[in-house]
Structure 1
Amino acid sequence: MVLPFLYVVLISFATDKEVLSNSFLLVPTRFSLEGYRYIFSTPVLLHSLGVTVGVTVVGTLVNLFMTVLTAYPLAHKELMARRPLMMLITFTMIFNAGIVPTFLIVKSLHLTNTFGALIIPSAISAFNLIVVKNFFQQLPDGLEESAKIDGASDPGILMRIVIPLSMPVIATFSLFYAVGHWNTFLSAILYINDSDKWPIQVLLRQIVILSEIGLSDMSDSPPPPSKIINMAVIVFSTAPILVFYPFLQKYFAKGVLLGSVKG
C-alpha cells in the first residue's frame, strides 16, 4: 500500500513533459506544483472540501454523542431489558436493511439533498457501540458508587468521571467515525443531487473520470495533464487523514483491545 501511494505522490509533483512522455520510472527529474496550483485555483473543489470538513466535524460529534449516550446505560447490568436491547443491536450488525429501504426512509423524511442525509443514517455504529460499552464496563464500580454517595447524578458521573477515563476508546472511535465521514461516497451518490453539496470524494470521482472536461470549466487557468490532476487530487483528499492519524495512533491498541475483552 505504501509504494503505490508513494508513486501517486511523485506523479502529482511531476512536470507536464515527464508525465506526457512517461520519461521517469520512480522519481521525477524535476518537481512541479502545477497540479496543486490548479487545484487551489478551482473554487468548486475548495467549496467541496469545506462541505466535507463540515460534515466530518458535525457527523463525528453526533456519532460520539449517540455512541456514548447509548453505551453508558447499556454498560450497567441493572438496566431493564438490557439483554433484548443488546440482541437487537447485534442483529443489526448481521442483517442490514439494504440500500433501497434505507433510501426510501431517507426520502420519506425529506432528507434528500440535505447534509442530514450524510449524517443521520450513520449516526451510530453497532460495533463501535459494543466496544465502547465493554470499555465502560471495565471501569471500577467503586468510582460511580463513591460519586453517588457524594451526590453526583448519572449525567455528572458520565461527564466528570466516565468520559475522562475513557479517552483512549473515545479518541480511537472519533478517528474511525471521522475517517468514515471524510471518505463518504455512496451516501452522497444516493442522496445528494445538488453538486453544490457534494463532498470531496464525489467530486474526486468526477475529476478522475472527467478530469479534462470537468475541471476545464471550473478554473480559469489552463489545466495540466489529467494524470497530474488526478494524482494531485488524491493526495489532496488523503493528506488530512495522514496528518491526524499519527497523533491518535497511540490510543488505538489500548482503546480497541481494552474495549473488546469484556462482553
Structure 2
Amino acid sequence: MSIKQTKSDKVFDICNKLLVWFFIIIISYPLIYIVSASISDPEYVNSGKMWLFPQGITFEGYERVFQNSEIWLGYRNTIFYTLFGTFINLFVTLPMAYALSRQQLVGKKVIMAMLVFTMFFEGGLIPTYLLIRDLGMIDTIWAMVLPNAAAMWNIIVTMTFFKVTIPRGLEEAAEIDGASQIRTFLQIVLPLSAPIIAVMALFYGVGHWNQYFNALIYLQDRELFPLQLFLREILVQQQLTTELMQQSGAVEALSEHARIADIIKYAVMIISAAPLLIVYPFLQRFFLKGVMIGSIKE
C-alpha cells in the first residue's frame, strides 16, 4: 500500500532531485571536459570551441606520452607501491583498530592518547629525512611504503566500525569454543569486515597512487621512480622549454611547442587518474556502507 504524498512532500522531492542533478552536472563536467580536451585539437580547446565534446579528434598527446619508455616503468613501480603499501597499511591498521576497539585492552587510554598526539604534531621534514636516512631506507622501496604505514584517522574509523558491528557476544562464543584472540580476529572478525577493509584499501591505495613527494625527497634511482614523478618531469620540461623559446623569440617553434604542451597536459591527467576511476566502481558498494557504519560513534 503506497502512502499518499502531500504537496509539501512532492515539492521536497522535486527540490532534492534538482539538487542532485545540479551536483552531478558540476562533478561530471570537469571530467568530461578533460577527457574531451585530451583527444581534441588544442586550437579548438584554446579558442573555446570545444566546451564539452571532442573537436578535431587526435591522439597525439597519448602517443607522445607513451613514447616515453619511462612511463611504463613508472606504471610498474606505482602499481607495486600501491599494492604492497596498501597491504602494509591494512596489516597495521586492522589489528591495531581491532585491539583498540576492545574494552579489555590494558592501557587503552594511554595508547590512544599517544596515537592521537601524532594527528596534531609531527617531527617535521628534516628530522623525518634524517630518520629515514639513518634507517638505511634512502633510495629503497621501503622509503615509499613504511613512513606512512598507518594513518590515525583511518585507525579511528576502523575502530568505530569494529565497535558497532562486531558484538562482544560473538567473541565470547569463540572463546568458549577454544579460539584464541588471533584466530577470532582472522576467522571471525575479518570475514565480517569486508566493507571497512574495502574503504581502507581505497583510502590508502589512492594515497599511494598519487604519492610523489616522498619519491622526490627519498629517491635518486630512476628505476624506482613512481609514475607521478615521471609525469611531473614531463610537465616541468614542457614548461621550461616553452619559457626558453619565449626568451629566444622563436615564434613558430613556440606556437608548435605550446600546442604539443597543451595536448600532453590533458593526456597526463587522464593517464594518472584512469586506473583509480576504473577501480572505484567495483568498490563503491563497500565504500558507502563502510563509511556510513564507520562514522557512527558508539
Q: Does TM, scored on the shorter chain, surpass 0.5?
A: yes
Closer, same or farther: CA 188–152 of 1 in aligned 2, 3 Å: same
Residue from 259, 263, 274 that aligns with 1:228: 263
Structure 2 residue identity aligned to 1:25: M
Structure 2: distance between partners of 1:257 and 1:242: 21
Structure 1: distance between partners of 2:240 and 2:227: 18
Structure 2 residue identity aligned to 1:195: R
Structure 2: distance between partners of 1:3 and 1:192: 37
2:252 equivalent in structure 1: none
Structure 2: distance between partners of 1:35 and 1:29: 14
1:172 equivalent in structure 2: 199
2:152 equivalent in structure 1: 126
Structure 1 residue identity aligned to 2:271: F
Structure 2: distance between partners of 1:91 and 1:257: 25
Matching of residue 12 in structure 1 with residue 38 in structure 2:
yes
Matching of residue 111 in structure 1 with residue 146 in structure 2:
no
Structure 1: distance between partners of 2:287 and 2:83: 20
Counterpart contact for 1:211–1:230, Cα < 8 Å: no
Matching of residue 244 in structure 1 with residue 271 in structure 2:
no
Q: Unmatched 5+ residue regions in structure 2?
A: 1-26, 242-256
Structure 1: distance between partners of 2:132 and 2:85: 16
Name the structure where helix makes up a greater proportion of residues: 2
1:230 to partner: Cα distance: 1.8
Q: How many residues align?
A: 254
2:167 equivalent in structure 1: 140
Structure 2: distance between partners of 1:5 and 1:15: 18
Structure 2: distance between partners of 1:170 and 1:125: 14
Counterpart contact for 1:201–1:237, Cα < 8 Å: yes
1:96 to partner: Cα distance: 2.1
Per the normalisation by structure 2, the TM-score is: 0.79
2:220 equivalent in structure 1: 193
1:246 to partner: Cα distance: 1.6
1:164 to partner: Cα distance: 1.0
Counterpart contact for 1:14–1:32, Cα < 8 Å: yes
Structure 2 residue identity aligned to 1:206: E
1:96 equivalent in structure 2: 122
Deviations 1:188-209 (A, max 9, x none): 1111122222111111111112
Structure 1 residue identity aligned to 2:163: Q
Structure 2 residue identity aligned to 1:43: S
Structure 2: distance between partners of 1:197 and 1:161: 39
1:211 to partner: Cα distance: 3.0
1:254 to partner: Cα distance: 2.1
Per the normalisation by structure 1, the TM-score is: 0.89
1:23 to partner: Cα distance: 7.2
Larger radius of gyration between Structure 1 and Structure 2: 2
1:184 equivalent in structure 2: 211
> Percent identity, aligned pairs only?
38
1:217 equivalent in structure 2: none
Structure 1 residue identity aligned to 2:151: S
2:49 equivalent in structure 1: 24
Residue from 78, 84, 105 that aligns with 1:79: 105
Counterpart contact for 2:42–2:262, Cα < 8 Å: no
Matching of residue 61 in structure 1 with residue 87 in structure 2:
yes
Structure 1: distance between partners of 2:41 and 2:288: 41
